[in-house]
Structure 1
């Protein structure tokens, strides 16, 4: 009986191809786990740097609230006016600018994100010295409205705060151009991938102007 069973089930036994599939699947799983672990370690190192990076003009603060319906609009922080934070201060995450302080209490503050609808900020592309206005549209990718009808911009260009701005320090990294629409009127616009992604932020730095 055992011999007959073995004969009948032999086609379903793992052959060379099946073993390779299983081995490849295990290898891919391990690579994915290692990649996720490396990314998580990098994120934790960045957060630790933010948490421990207080100096005279930068205040480290924890994110204490995100409203699901306002996910791309605001964050609440655990530091306020008694810590030196004021309305209009720049808020930085790992890699670049997140938004501006919109309101303050003695012990907390609220951040209006760059992705918030109606948010606008003067920016430029340092490589080509092209200026524009970054506009929040309520998604994770704001738009860049160029001031020139024929902008010298290309995919991958880094966008940062403009030296002409009186609201923020110049050349704070903001994002990278992902798509350029040259058909829009009266001037082209672009889609920007933010460097500091608000959905993964636990700690921030507030650039105090005091």
Structure 2
């Protein structure tokens, strides 16, 4: 009897090993699809019933809601742009931002209007908030704008309150540095900065930004940190208008 029991145990062990090996081979060949299928069948009664048509309907509704939100945003931006275009006597050309490089995000952008629409090199570019730059290159259907946030950009500016003047230079961000001409400028945090009448590249009186910090001990001249008023990092639309640069006075 003991031998019979031992034989049965051996046979049982062999059968279990064979079943385990077969299961392993099956899993390898099916990549677990049998287990997934078995799990799906076992848990089916526990899952809520899904109506494919309802799922598609909900997805379409979410897409329409997203499109409506985007259209509302564009409508608000175009209204602001229209209000800006109606200010002043200049004929302004609305243009969409269609190109921007991650490597030059704060230096330049491309608009979808060019020489066919009357845009020329040197034209001034503004957006809701104020000045953003000037056109530096034009093709028949596009134009490249040098932003005032570009480190090579220089803008003659003045403080609206005290009329102190200086040069604004970009820093590759939403902030710029104002270098004053006066050694003891009358400047306060919150002062509004606009383009100066002495600027050779921009007409006077365009809003540029607001003074956020002051360093009167800077060398070689006192400085102020200016937060640019136009959201240069999020521009989608702009307005372009011609600016006849003052002719150089005869020497």
The normalised TM-score by structure 1 is: 0.75
- State the secondary structure of the residue aligned to 2:218: coil
Would the aligned equivalents of 2:170 and 2:177 in 1 still touch at CA under 8 Å?
A: yes
Would the aligned equivalents of 2:159 and 2:194 in 1 still touch at CA under 8 Å?
A: yes
Would the aligned equivalents of 1:51 and 1:203 in 2 still touch at CA under 8 Å?
A: no
* Equivalent residue, structure 2, for 1:11: none
For residues 58-137 of structure 1, the aligned pairs below 5 Å read: 58-137=92-171
* Equivalent residue, structure 2, for 1:37: none
Which protein is richer in strand relative to its size?
A: 1
The 2-side partners of 1:101 and 1:168 are apart by 11
The 1-side partners of 2:74 and 2:156 are apart by 28
Shift of 1:138: 1.6
Shift of 1:200: 1.4
Question: Greater relative contact order (Cα 8 A, min sep 6): structure 1 or 2?
Answer: 1
Shift of 1:139: 2.0
Residue from 47, 63, 66 that aligns with 2:78: 47
Question: Structure 1 residue 156 and structure 2 residue 190: aligned?
Answer: yes
Question: Structure 1 residue 172 and structure 2 residue 227: aligned?
Answer: no
The 1-side partners of 2:78 and 2:217 are apart by 40
CA deviation string 1:128-179 (max 9, x = no partner): 0100000012222111111111110100000000012232221000000011
- State the secondary structure of the residue aligned to 1:199: helix
* Equivalent residue, structure 2, for 1:192: 226
Tell me the C-alpha RMSD between the 2 structures.
2.1
The 2-side partners of 1:89 and 1:170 are apart by 14
Question: Structure 1 residue 183 and structure 2 residue 217: aligned?
Answer: yes
The 1-side partners of 2:157 and 2:233 are apart by 22
Answer with 1 or 2: which has the greater Rg. Answer: 2
Aligned residues: 171
- State the secondary structure of the residue aligned to 1:205: strand
The 2-side partners of 1:91 and 1:75 are apart by 11
Would the aligned equivalents of 2:203 and 2:243 in 1 still touch at CA under 8 Å?
A: no
Which protein is richer in helix relative to its size?
A: 2
Would the aligned equivalents of 1:159 and 1:174 in 2 still touch at CA under 8 Å?
A: yes
Q: 1:201 to 1:51 in 2, by over 3 A?
A: farther
The 2-side partners of 1:116 and 1:76 are apart by 14
Would the aligned equivalents of 1:47 and 1:94 in 2 still touch at CA under 8 Å?
A: no
* Equivalent residue, structure 1, for 2:42: none
Would the aligned equivalents of 1:103 and 1:110 in 2 still touch at CA under 8 Å?
A: yes
The 1-side partners of 2:152 and 2:168 are apart by 10
Q: Which runs of 5+ in 1 are unaligned?
A: 1-39
